[in-house]
Every structure is written in structure tokens, then in C-alpha cells.
Structure 1
Amino acid sequence: MMSAPLSRRLAAEGVGTAVLAAVLVGSGIQASGLSPDGGVQLLANVLASVLALAVLIALLAPVSGGHFNPLVSAAAWWTDRRAGTGLTPRELGAYVLAQLGGAIVGVGLANVMFEHPFVELSGHQRASGHLWLAEGLATGVLILLVFGLLRSGRGRYAPVAVAAWIGAACWGTSSGSFANPALTFGRALSDTYTGIAPGSVPAFVLAQTAGAALGLSLVALLFGRRGPQPAPQHAPDDARELLAP
């Protein structure tokens, strides 16, 4: 099991998700205010977000795993459930709540920093089959990447690799690669460049969940299934070091 107290891990997940959400939404507001060009806006928003993501994973992975994403936490629990390491169901629920709370706080702070109300429901409708397909693809590859690196003993590359994939997926998918239910929910609370209408959130989250399930299936197919095994003495905990450099 993880050595850090649960309270410290939850604080790391909440703070990390809040900072990521604040940078994501804040950079979108900043970019849309500084340039009328959509391509420049997207470039600035994506660049700020992926840099923040890489830094936050590198900083907080040794404490909590650096998930900042309920589906990454759920996948970590699922892959480690037979080995008896990693998150318990109770801890998984607490992680998800911390991530959702962090996303709400981070989006609210970004709103306030740019003179918007703390909560301002988005009117940006994102409801179409091609967007749901894009979300499934972006999330599935994210899960494949994270757990493929972990399964092959290359988890130290995750901060750069995860940030690189999110950046590529933001440009290469029609949905802009939300790929994170917590941030998707948080973005519904900002009627700005990165927002999503509350009514569009459930379908996005369902698509992300389906993509995550597919990603886990691909991990098993490409890297083999992980069965029950005793933890060697002094071995690193998989869930704790899921995204550790």
C-alpha cells in the first residue's frame, strides 16, 4: 500500500487538479482576449495546459500518483485490485471527490482572476457523435499510454509522454481532447473559451469511460494481463508511482 497518508494524497490530487483546471481555463480566457485568431488561441491554450500537466505530474506523482483524472484513478484501482496494492475502493472514491472538488475550485479561481463570476454555466454546446468518438479515442490512448508505460517498466517517462499525448490529441481530435471527467465537469462552470454546456457533459463522460475501458483492454492485449502476485520487499507501489518520473 501507499506510504503517504490518505489525507496528504487527497490534498495532492485536489491541489494538482485545481491548478491544472485554473491554467486550462485561464489560458483559454487569456488567449481569446489577446488574439482573434482561433489557431493562435488553441496553440496558446494547449501549450500552457500541457506544460502545467507535465510539471504537476512530476511534482505530485511521488505523493499521490499524480492522476488528476478519475478515469486514471479507476484504471489504477482496476489493474492493481488482484495484487492487493494501490488504491482500495474507498480510496478510489475519495480520489474522485478530491479531483472533482479541485476542478471546481480551479475553474472558479480562473473565472475570478479574469473578472467572471466564480460559477458561470457554459453555453457552449458540444453534442455530436464525432465529438464523442474523439473523446473515446483521446481517453483510450491516454489510458493505454499510462499503463503501457507502467507495465513495461518505463513509468518515469510518463510526465513528458502524457503531456505530449494530450497536446497532440488537442490538435488531432475534433473534441479538443477533454479526456478527463473531472475537468469536463469543471469546464461546464465557465462560460468562456474552454467551456462546455452542462447538458453536453454526461455524453462526454460516457464516451471517456468507454474509451478508458477500451484502453485497458488494449493494455492487456499488448502487454499481457497482470495476475495476483506477492509484492517483493521494498518494491515500489504501482499506484503510488503510476506517473512517477
Structure 2
Amino acid sequence: MTLSRRVAAEGLGTALLVATVVGSGIMADRLTNDTAMALMGNTIPTGAILFVLITILGPISGAHFNPAVTAVFALRKELDWSSAAGYVVAQVLGGIIGAVAAHLMFELPALQLATHARTGASQWLSEAIAAFGLVAVILGGLRAKAQAIPALVGLYITAAYWFTASTSFANPAVTIARSLTDTFSGIRPVDALAFILAQLVGALLALALAGWLFKPTGVTE
């Protein structure tokens, strides 16, 4: 695929992912005052859209939709750094467009600054673990059964919404986009940088582990 098509796929996929995350959060918050039910209403659409987007856009760009994942593939030398830079720009811009689209669908101001505080050691650890698990699932899926990755990623994020204290952002582009929505899924801009750093640390740890754990059969140290 040409770089322009791959970059477009990354932007489109990230936009639709964020529109789903933000839009389903707004809908859930409007339909119930029960926080657990609202989170469930946010979780299921996110896992579902990941399965759809990775299935249809994966053959074009690899369906990263995530700068941390893109960085991992660049470090593995499976993506050149020039293309990786294009991916990341498209992911960030796509995420912002997705947040704006969700706001407009629900008749809210197009751009907002989030006021939802998400900070502290437990939140940062949660994000490192969430990103670690996501990258490990992707790399393990490539080793074991590549065609299962859409389901694996969708199911992992569905689970991670509930077993992490941060509800598993696990994605720098999504984190930036969510800092621009003062809705159920938002995060204060002041808290976003620490989330992004934790996500990158988790992704790099998963890359290091995968280099050993998922070595091809017959390869020894």
C-alpha cells in the first residue's frame, strides 16, 4: 500500500475509535446515573469497534491507531521512521477529529478542555500495565495466530477497561483526544502527559519481553 493510503487508514481508524469512545461515553452518561452501567456502555462499543476497524483497516496500514504501537513496530524495524512519523501525526489528528465529531453528534461544543482528574501512582501504573498488555497481545498474536488479532485486541481492551484503575487508555493519541472532551471519558490536559509517558514505558517493556518470550521455535539464547 502507498504511504498516503496507509496514513489515511491510520487517521480514519483513530477518528472512528475516538468517536466511539467519546460518543458511547456521552450516550451512556445520558442514559443512566449508575457509573458501573455507564462504564459498561462505554466498554462494549470500544471493544466492538476495535474488532471492526482492525479487521477492515489492518490489511492497509496494520491498524495501529496508537503511537505507542507504531513506535514498537518502528523499533522492530518493521516500519521505517519516516512512515512512523506520518502514522503518528495522522493518529493524533484523527483522534481530535473523532472527539469533535462525537461532540457535534450530541450537540455539544466542538472543542472542550476536560476537567476529569486522573492522576496518581495507581493511575500511572494502570496505564503502564494497560499498554504493556496491549503490545504483548499484539506481538503474541502475530507469533501465534495473526488472523485472531482483531478479536484479541478488542477483547483485551474490553477486559482492561475493568481491571485497570485508569479504565485503560493505553494510547497516546486517544489520551490527547480525550483531554479535549469534558465528558464521561475525558482526562484533564494537565494529567495527560503522565499517562502518555506511562503508556510508552509499558509498550517498551512489552517489546523487550516479546523479544525473548515470542522467539520462533528452535531459536535459543
- For normalisation by structure 2, the TM-score amounts to 0.96
Work out the CA distance in 1 between the residues paired with 2:46 and 2:141. 22
**1-structure distance, mates of 2:16, 2:137:** 23
Match of 1:16 among 1, 13, 18: 13
Match in the other structure for 2:45: 48
Q: Distance in 1 between matches of 2:152 and 2:215?
A: 21
Residue 207 of structure 2 is aligned to residue 216 of structure 1: yes
> In the aligned structure 2, how far is the partner of 1:37 from the partner of 1:204?
26
- The aligned amino acid for 1:191 is D
List gaps (5 residues or longer) in structure 2: 217-221
Give the C-alpha shift of residue 146 in structure 1. 0.4
Residue among 159, 173, 181 paired with 2:172: 181
- Equivalent of 1:135 in 124, 127, 147: 127
2:156 is equivalent to residue 197 of structure 1: no
What amino acid is the match of 2:46? S
Q: Distance in 1 between matches of 2:141 and 2:73?
A: 13
Offset at residue 192 of structure 1 (A):
0.2
AA matched with 1:29: I
Partner residue of 2:100? Answer: 108
Question: Residue 75 of structure 1: which of 47, 72, 77 is its match?
Answer: 72
TM-score, structure 1 length as denominator? 0.86
Q: Which runs of 5+ in 1 are unaligned?
A: 226-245
Matched residue pairs, number?
216
**1:220 Cα deviation after fit:** 1.4
Cα drift, residue 127 of structure 1: 1.0
Q: 1:63 — aligned with what?
A: 60
Report how far residue 112 of structure 1 moved. Answer: 1.2
Residue identity over aligned pairs, in percent, reads 44
| CA displacement at 1:151 relative to structure 2 | 2.8
Other structure's SS at 2:20 match: helix
Aligned CA-pair RMSD:
0.9
Q: Deviation above 3 Å: which 4+ runs of structure 1?
A: none
